[in-house]
Amino acid sequence: MVAAAWTFPPDHPAAQGHFPDDPLIPGAVLLADTLREIEAGLGESLASCRIRSAKFVASVRPGDRVTIEYSRSRGNAIRFDCKVGGRTVLKGEVVCDASPQAA
């Protein structure tokens, strides 16, 4: 199991207008940043991989610190679990049909 963490800036541009007076980080941004963290940690590109599952369990807000744990399972599958304050916010799996390429 590998772990990484990052914090969404309080003024993250994706949260502007999403939603006024109650800003949230869009799920697409959370997922994209999660995949980038996995790529950086593995030193591999996930460009040839597909997202098998992604379940958004709770909201992420600007200023939240996200921790991610991920590991390889069943061949070329990578499972991940993102948390904020110990609470799961996103979990899922990416599958690579071929060996991932070095980044």
CATH number, position 83: 3.10.129.10
Q: Does the N-terminal peptide bond of residue 56 adopt cis geometry, omega within 30 degrees of 0?
A: no
pLDDT < 50 stretches in the chain: 100
Q: What sign has the CA pseudo-torsion 63, 59, 14, 68?
A: positive
Supply the range of the domain harboring residue 40.
2-102
Tally of domains in the chain: 1
Burial of 25 (0-12, 13-18, 19+ CB in 10 A): buried
CA–CA dist 10, 15 (Å, integer): 9
